[in-house]
Structure 1
């Protein structure tokens, strides 16, 4: 299977591609409306054909949008994580415009070569391209592309604020009507957070949380997780049942997060004089998922599984362990060829429930112990 990180990159790049495809298609339609029955461009005298122009504009927009999206999500977007939104948009638009102008020139070579039925470097094609670049029509296209860039960047930022999957679910109305689905939830909480906040102060503590959440991003992506909520020093991560159970992704997520933080131990010690450790509680079950709200819309999950996962996480301190899962989840996880063992603990009695839940912790086999600090 393709790595979940690259699957996410492709999905986000395709969103850019669709935005650009739309702008390319609209440009082709507007161009036809302006030129009417004319079969040439007045400013350059180049031959014009509606279907050819529409195809090139749409296809070129899609390709450029995908390249734009891939560069944005895999590289450039990470360079401006600490910049205000307007700074991100302005700097990125200028950066991309340079390359898009070059792309537009190359696209013009291709279009005119096709229209004149001559090779790319023929005098006729070179002259037509030169006339187009020196015309108002060319720079009007550049302005149109700049506007498209701004729209694509705003879509991208909106997607990052909501979460990629959440944005797409809103866009296509997946949960406009509530649905029942099986999900796994992990409640991940920082150990001794109240004491740490008092020692560091509110501003420094907030920077600590930002650093932790940033370092958790890759492990969550690698294990196909989705961040449902940030609640102070607690992160709620969720998986559809199939993705969370595949290769024990949900459990692997916790250990990958721990390893990612461990690699930054010296940085945390230097910046905060403290190394954060986390505890996690897991549960699996049915939830109702749907859009809610009028002034502010959200996609939320409702069901006992969330309360139960939160309660399980709260029991970690009592048992002196970093991870506790419900027996319902343990029964469905893959147990063959794994580097850890499931160890049954006591039963948890939930308020208002007759049935008890058996808690299960996980012990890593000798030789497979990641460098995880004890709580």
Structure 2
């Protein structure tokens, strides 16, 4: 059950909870330390309370971060609602116990106290603090879920109003589509087919954990990934995402063949260009990209079967890449539906 912190996503979770808990404790210190009188035997002035907050905050953030990673990667998948609720209940009790131990150790380190840990835990006014802590835990968990729904990093940008007015960005897009999806749906049935898609997209997330790719949309059995131009070109991230995903599926061949009787295979099309990004919707908000770049990328992906290629990219993207890892084979200029001019396409392979 060891968790290796070797990918960026896990570090972002840890950072989020460390900052969140530190701010929560600082807020509590200010509220309790300015113009209020402590009910219990432990007396804190504002500076002492702030010192404890900035020490205890990162500690509790690490604990919450570990728990969130464990939930997302080991517990949440294919678990019933009852199981998840039981897990959260047990976690809440353990979290409060760890909070008491952590707070007692920090207070002893800085100030010292003759109180035993039980008396410390039961000090007057503690119940209100425990309720506050549990409320913050629920709030941070909800923020994490909202962030996942919008795409990591987009909640912050949304709150800053960056998407309120449409703006242009140069971006790389990848349309990733499951091969023979109709045949698989008939073969597996709707429920098992949905489980297959769920497993595949979970593995996609694992495959791009160290990649700056943003998952823009899931549309049926298709995923749309995007990068800023700088992030996508750096270290061939836009191409590595596809091959890392392919390798991840290969490593789980035995799992997929045992559960579904098939190893899923994805094909992809990629293109780069200017798009407009904006916030859309009134009662259901979404961050949306608009522009011919997306339409062209979708058309390129549609040529994979015709040209018998796993990964096709546009000449425009090839001209931006300088890769020593991947080889590009010209497939000619193709007429794409809805476009007047032909688009030169290249098949990608590993050297």
Q: Give TM-score scaled by structure 1 length.
A: 0.84
Structure number with greater Rg is 1
Match in the other structure for 1:330: 318
Shift of 1:317: 0.8
Q: Residues 271 and 314 of structure 2 are in contact (CA less than 8 Å); yes or no, is this contact kept in structure 1?
A: yes
Shift of 1:361: 0.4
SS at match of 1:164: coil
SS at match of 1:262: helix
The answer to whether 1:364 aligns with 2:339 is: no
1:204 to 192, 198, 220: 192
1:92 to 85, 88, 97: 88
Shift of 1:226: 1.1
Q: Could you tell me how far apart the structure 1 residues matched to 2:28 and 2:95 are?
A: 19
Shift of 1:86: 7.4
Q: How does 1:1-375 map to 2 (within 5 A)?
A: 6-32=7-33, 36=36, 38=37, 41-44=38-41, 46-57=42-53, 59-60=54-55, 62-78=57-73, 79-83=75-79, 88=84, 91-92=87-88, 94-111=90-107, 114-115=110-111, 120=112, 125-127=113-115, 130-336=118-324, 338=325, 340-351=326-337, 353-365=339-351
Give a deviation string over 1:338-365, Cα, whole Å, max 9, x none.
Answer: 2x31111121224554432101002333
Q: Could you tell me how far apart the structure 1 residues matched to 2:298 and 2:46 are?
A: 60
Moved more, 161-170 or 99-108: 99-108
Cα 1:176/1:18, change in 2 over 3 Å: farther
Q: Residues 176 and 301 of structure 2 are in contact (CA less than 8 Å); yes or no, is this contact kept in structure 1?
A: yes
Shift of 1:130: 5.0
Shift of 1:69: 4.2
Shift of 1:143: 2.2
SS at match of 2:7: helix
Q: Could you tell me how far apart the structure 2 residues matched to 1:132 and 1:146 are?
A: 18
Q: Could you tell me how far apart the structure 2 residues matched to 1:231 and 1:252 are?
A: 22
Q: Could you tell me how far apart the structure 1 residues matched to 2:293 and 2:264 are?
A: 27
SS at match of 2:153: helix
Give a deviation string over 1:181-217, Cα, whole Å, max 9, x none.
Answer: 1111111111111111112111111111111111111
Structure 1 residue ranges, 4+ long, deviating more than 4 angstroms after superposition: 84-87
The answer for unaligned runs of 5 or more in structure 1 is: 366-375
SS at match of 1:260: helix
Cα 1:227/1:293, change in 2 over 3 Å: same
Q: Could you tell me how far apart the structure 2 residues matched to 1:198 and 1:354 are?
A: 36
Cα 1:327/1:195, change in 2 over 3 Å: same
Cα 1:99/1:283, change in 2 over 3 Å: same
Cα 1:190/1:113, change in 2 over 3 Å: closer
Q: Residues 181 and 221 of structure 2 are in contact (CA less than 8 Å); yes or no, is this contact kept in structure 1?
A: yes
Q: Residues 60 and 99 of structure 2 are in contact (CA less than 8 Å); yes or no, is this contact kept in structure 1?
A: no
Q: Could you tell me how far apart the structure 2 residues matched to 1:22 and 1:231 are?
A: 37
Shift of 1:20: 2.0
Q: Residues 169 and 274 of structure 2 are in contact (CA less than 8 Å); yes or no, is this contact kept in structure 1?
A: yes
Cα 1:23/1:181, change in 2 over 3 Å: same
SS at match of 1:221: coil
Cα 1:4/1:333, change in 2 over 3 Å: farther
Q: Residues 283 and 328 of structure 1 are in contact (CA less than 8 Å); yes or no, is this contact kept in structure 2?
A: yes
